[in-house]
Chains A and B, each alone.
Chain A
């Protein structure tokens, strides 16, 4: 069975600080996909990144960066120079790598509050 653990329930940081959201996963699959989604108060889940298990390169997109470490089954998400608009609940998710299978197993989320 697949499992995603986000141990940080809530995090608060002052604007412009850097913040890292942790994600640890469990799966018996050798090939799988990892995702991060942002959920603002409106409720819609906003896709941030997808990473397959073969690609352990870190990725940077503007102020966002992701660190994938297969050895520790972690896929952490860092926001640099945080802004108030980053306040939201962030979910890490895992999917098996079946053709066209988009079934996602989500963690319980981390509520991030950026204090102005």
Chain B
């Protein structure tokens, strides 16, 4: 196990609703990244948070937003859900102490939008 935990593990929402996904990073890690993985695809970078500020964003609309808390845990919020938002959402934590290090992933939250 990586020590990165995500909740909930599964979620079903209706189109137009809002959802919040949560991630607790591995102890000692100060950077959290979120990825969306559609069925049969590789993960796509959504955004990254470092010391409570967004630090890099992928090609996702503003209705995807996030937060990082002082304990380095994080939330991903998605507003106005669309059917195409159905995916596995992965959180990864890493320690920003130098050049690129390995990111440790949680088991993900599988979101289904109906």
Residues of chain A having any CB pair with chain B under 8 Å: 4, 33, 35, 37, 42-47, 50, 52, 91, 93, 95-109
- Whether B102 pairs with A45 at a CB distance below 8 angstroms is no
User: Pick the contact of B102 from A50, A101, A106, A109 — CB < 8 Å?
Assistant: A50
Residues of chain B having any CB pair with chain A under 8 Å: 2, 31, 33, 35, 40-45, 48, 50, 56, 58, 88, 90, 92, 94, 96-108, 110
- Whether A99 pairs with B98 at a CB distance below 8 angstroms is yes
- Whether A99 pairs with B43 at a CB distance below 8 angstroms is no
- Whether A45 pairs with B45 at a CB distance below 8 angstroms is no
- Whether A45 pairs with B96 at a CB distance below 8 angstroms is no
Residues A105 and B45 in contact in the complex (CB < 8 Å), given A35-B102, A43-B88, A95-B100: yes
- Whether B45 pairs with A100 at a CB distance below 8 angstroms is no
- Whether B104 pairs with A100 at a CB distance below 8 angstroms is no
- Which residues on B sit within 8 Å (CB–CB) of A50? 100-102
Residues A102 and B48 in contact in the complex (CB < 8 Å), given A44-B2, A108-B42: yes
Per the bound structure, the CA–CA distance linking A97 and B48 in Å amounts to: 15
A50, closest chain B residue (CB): B102
- Which residues on A sit within 8 Å (CB–CB) of B107? 42-44
- Which residues on B sit within 8 Å (CB–CB) of A100? 31, 50, 96-100
Per the bound structure, the CA–CA distance linking A97 and B100 in Å amounts to: 6
- Which residues on B sit within 8 Å (CB–CB) of A107? 42
Per the bound structure, the CA–CA distance linking A95 and B33 in Å amounts to: 13
Residues A43 and B110 in contact in the complex (CB < 8 Å), given A102-B103, A103-B48: yes
- Which residues on B sit within 8 Å (CB–CB) of A109? 41-42
Per the bound structure, the CA–CA distance linking A100 and B2 in Å amounts to: 19
Give chain A nearest CB distance to B1 CB in angstroms: 8
- Which residues on A sit within 8 Å (CB–CB) of B98? 99-100
- Whether B43 pairs with A45 at a CB distance below 8 angstroms is yes
User: Pick the contact of B45 from A46, A91, A103 — CB < 8 Å?
Assistant: A103
Give chain B nearest CB distance to A37 CB in angstroms: 8
